[in-house]
Amino acid sequence: MKTIVKQFTFFFPVLIAAVLVAGPDGYAKEYLDGKLDISGYFENFTAYRPQKSKQEDKGYFSNSRNTFYLEMGYKLIECPNYNVGFYGTLRNYYESAFDIDQDYSRASNRIDHSRLRHENGNNRLREIYTDIASGPFQIRIGKQVATWGEADGFRIADIINPLDQSWHWTFEAWEDLVIPVWMMRAWYKTDLPGDISFETVYIPYDFEPTQLAANGMNWGVPAITRQFWLNFKQSRPDNDINNGEIGFRISAKIKGWDINLHDFYTRSDDPIFTDDANKLIKGVLLGGEKLFKYRRYNVLGGTVTGYNEWTKAVLRGEWGLNMGQKFNTTLTGAPPFGIRSSDVFSYMIGFDRPTMVPYLSAWNNYRSVFISMQMFQRYIMHPPPGWIRPPDMGANDTTLTAFTLILETGFRNDSIVPSMLVAYSTTGWGFFLPSVKYKIGSHLRFILGGGVYWGHNKTEGMGIFRNNDEVTFKIRYEF
């Protein structure tokens, strides 16, 4: 009850303020002659898992996340020679699934709930940065998100910011999952043929690993025990200058194709076990040791996109060579672990094509169906003996092949938007995410969706979540 009151006291004043800010028609509000603009939303996302859990012989609510999101932009200086602007986003949430469903709450350690229950500390200020642009030069400094990739869902080039996979794995919109970090980006557009431009990214100290849920929670990885999960945080390197990550990108347009090449020297967002056996044993038995390492590697990659008139589709491609990526090895299947390197080559090819479907057109007033397909492959180029495979790869595989298909269209002037995403790996795992979005009036959005996850066994790919099939419901008030 106390938490519900606490939740109410937080959200109610903000809701009233938002309703007052939002007019009967408008959403975003512009002030000061358009220099300042504010927009945002309130949202409740609820997920119900019909299948029985491991702990209880019945289903449970795995999410009831109430989110407040505010976005602000301010143009400080606008003149022909240079522009200066600020941008920021604020987000807070309250996860009430632990309050609603005691069975779910009991499935994991109560102490661990706080990380998922609400946004912590400075993370509430998700993004805050300033933009300074003059002629062909632009610099952006602050806490922000940088993306370089073309692939949807597969992280080949989009590795600059880590992901928060703790609350709904990777099944939410990128903007809701990505973790902004403090960095500096700079662009320079040349007058060279091919519209060549350069971009550099420098993260001086801020390191954030991938966020995972604790064991027992709906999206907690079963193989990661609570002790290990707690040690992730403990093993995380301190935020100092040694965490520096730097990247460089060159972009050009050649014969109608947008081509990018990049190099990013980074620290892995995903940890591996330490190769110090004594430390590992001591840490497991007595605690206090850093059991994991976030090792460095270099990513060389590129993307290419272009419109093909014959197929009437946008063709997309992306590749990346992870040079010296670190893997754990074991000769017995158990500790002690070793650490070995292997280059990893990944690529994606895909297309996007809005397509008129003849029989559907009569129903949806000639709204096209957006079709997007991707094929992804990852090769471990020099797998060391006894290497421990990433969880999305088969037990004996050195190659991962996966496909995705997205379909989306609109009915009744896009007030009803059905969509679906299917992913399938040749190792046998996959997932199916259907949803229907319904827009009512100017501010309200409802999304009814679901997720079906499968895999050969509970240790490979989405197989780890194969009992997590769920029905989801989202209601959002935009202002």
Structure tokens at 108: 């994991």
Which of 256, 250, 144 is CA-nearest to residue 189?
A: 250
Distance CA 76, CA 253 (A): 32
**Binding span for another protein by CB under 8 A among 2-10, 232-240, 355-363, 388-396:** 355-363
Question: Could you say whether residue 56 binds another protein (CB under 8 A)?
Answer: no
Please report whether residue 276 would count as binding another protein according to CB under 8 A. Answer: no
CB atoms within 10 A of CB 274: 22
Write the interaction track for another protein spanning residues 121-160; mark x where CB under 8 A is met and - where it is not.
------x---x-x--x-x------xxxxxx----------
Interface with another protein (CB under 8 A), residue from 356, 395, 399, 458:
356
DSSP at 256: T
Binding pattern for the stretch 5-44 against another protein, x by CB under 8 A and - elsewhere: --------------------xxxx-x------x-xxx---
Residue of 117, 367, 378, 389 interacting with another protein (CB under 8 A):
367
Q: Is 406 in the site for another protein (CB under 8 A)?
A: no
Alpha-carbon distance of 19 to 109, in angstroms, equals 38
Q: Which helix (H) or strand (E) holds 188?
A: strand 181-189
Among 313, 321, 400, 402, binds another protein (CB under 8 A): 313
Choice between 76 and 356, CB closer to another protein: 356
Q: Which stretch binds another protein (CB under 8 A): 162-170, 216-224, 300-308, 334-342?
A: 300-308
Residue 71: strand, helix, or coil: strand
What's the burial of 238, exposed, middle or buried (CB within 10 Å: 0-12/13-18/19+)?
Answer: exposed
Q: How many helices and strands, by DSSP H and E, does the chain display?
A: 8, 21
The verdict on 248 binding another protein (CB under 8 A) reads: no
Q: CA angle 300-305-309, nearest 5°? A: 155
Task: Count residues near another protein (CB under 8 A).
Answer: 63
Q: Which two tokens stand for residue 248?
A: 């460089």
Q: How far apart are CA 89 and CA 129, in angstroms?
A: 10
Binding letters toward another protein, positions 165-204, x by CB under 8 A: --------xxx--x--------x-x-----x-x-------
Say whether 338 sits in a helix, a strand or coil.
strand
The DSSP call for residue 462 is: G
Binding interface with another protein (CB under 8 A): 25-28, 30, 37, 39-41, 71, 73, 87, 127, 131, 133, 136, 138, 145-150, 173-175, 178, 187, 189, 195, 197, 251, 256, 258, 305-307, 309, 312-314, 316, 352-356, 361, 365-368, 410, 413-415, 439, 441-442, 445, 476, 478-479
